[in-house]
Amino acid sequence: MSPAATLDRVRSWIDAARRVVVLTGAGISTDSGIPDFRGPQGVWTRNPAAEKLSDIRHYVADPEVRRASWRSRLGHPAWGAQPNAGHLALVALERRGMLHAIVTQNIDGLHLRAGNSPELVIEVHGNLHRAVCLSCGRKGPMQETLARVRAGEADPQCLECGGILKSDTISFGQALVPQVIERAMAAARDTDLLLTVGTSLQVFPVAGAVPLARQCGARVVIVNAQPTQFDALADALLPGPISIDLPLVVRGVG
């Protein structure tokens, strides 16, 4: 089937759907200037050692890892990033009354910034715009902690209890929040069209939403530049770029 015919087909499925669930990953934000992890220009593709620094055990045990993390957070591309046409297409889908949920692995907050309703956005890996104390659980705006780093605190501690501070995101080795994962899986069970967008589908349990939705009778469309392990069970594959393909399949954009 030609790319144009596949786009037409997916557009007609979206038009006919009642409860669309969108599962997003880092690839939806690359056109906003935030690199993904495993794409050709991904952070881990270019520097495999960086993956180890994302492990909570190193972060807790080694002050130098924390200092390096805070230095890197200061310059994170998320601070200046704007939603792109892919994010805005999902706002259009919500306005049409068809969006049941966005399950996002992203931590950049761009779905909320684009204008999707907070009650429809399930952030399974947390949000970089918040800092959290690993001891007492106190949360606060990330920019307040970054101001302390800029003022000279290389490894700032919790102002309440002196505990280790970190972005309120899930690192390797850290438990997911069970209620959040349950909401994501419930959405996957309850959709008639699952659209996965810009994710390599390698991180479980979230990637398990794809076979789950399929088993429950949903159509599955995968929008991704690289192959994924679930391509064989998808009804259609779109290679992107996401910021071009998503507006094309969601009518009412622009």
**Residues forming the active site:** 125
Biggest CA-to-CA distance, the chain = 60
Phi, psi of 164 (to 5 degrees): -75, 130
Q: In this complex, which beta carbon is closest to ligand NAD, that of residue 191 or of residue 228?
A: 228
Rounded to a whole number of angstroms, the minimum distance from the CB of residue 159 to ligand NAD is 27
Cβ burial of 143 (10 Å; 0-12, 13-18, 19+) is exposed
| 232/69 Cα distance (integer angstroms) | 38
For position 203 contacting ligand NAD by CB under 6 A, the verdict is yes
What is the closest distance, in whole angstroms, from the C-beta atom of residue 28 to ligand NAD in the complex?
7
Kindly tell me which of 202 and 215 has the beta carbon lying closer to ligand NAD.
Answer: 202
Answer for which of 165, 240, 246, 249 binds ligand NAD (CB under 6 A) is 240
Query: Binding to ligand NAD (CB under 6 A): which residues in 157-186?
Result: none
CB 19 → ligand NAD: shortest distance, Å?
23
Strands 139-141 and 165-169, bridge-based pairing: unpaired
Among residues 83 and 198, whose Cβ is nearest to ligand NAD?
Answer: 198
Number of residues that bind ligand NAD (CB under 6 A): 28
130 binds ligand NAD (CB under 6 A): no
Residue closer to ligand NAD by CB (options 140, 241) is 241
Q: Beta strand 139-141 with 193-197: parallel, antiparallel or unpaired?
A: unpaired
Which residues make Cβ contacts (< 8 Å) with residue 71, sequence separation at least 6?
149, 154
Name the token pair of 200.
């390599």
CA 117 to chain centre: 15
- We find the least distance from the C-beta atom of residue 234 to ligand NAD, in angstroms, to be 14
User: Closer to ligand NAD at the Cβ: 116 or 158?
Assistant: 116
- Amino acid present at 220: V
Interface with ligand NAD in residues 5-64 (CB under 6 A): 25-27, 29-31, 34, 36-39, 42
Tokens of 75: 């310059």
Count Cα atoms within 13 angstroms, Cβ side, for 5. 2
Q: How far is the CB of 151 from ligand NAD (least distance, A)?
A: 26
Site map (CB under 6 A) of ligand NAD, residues 183-202, x = contact: ---------------xxx-x
Chain centroid, CA 208 distance in Å: 15
226 sits near ligand NAD (criterion: CB under 6 A): yes
Spatial separation of the C-alpha atoms in residues 206 and 214, rounded to whole Å:
14
Binding site for ligand NAD (CB under 6 A): 25-27, 29-31, 34, 36-39, 42, 105-108, 125, 198-200, 202-203, 224-226, 240-242
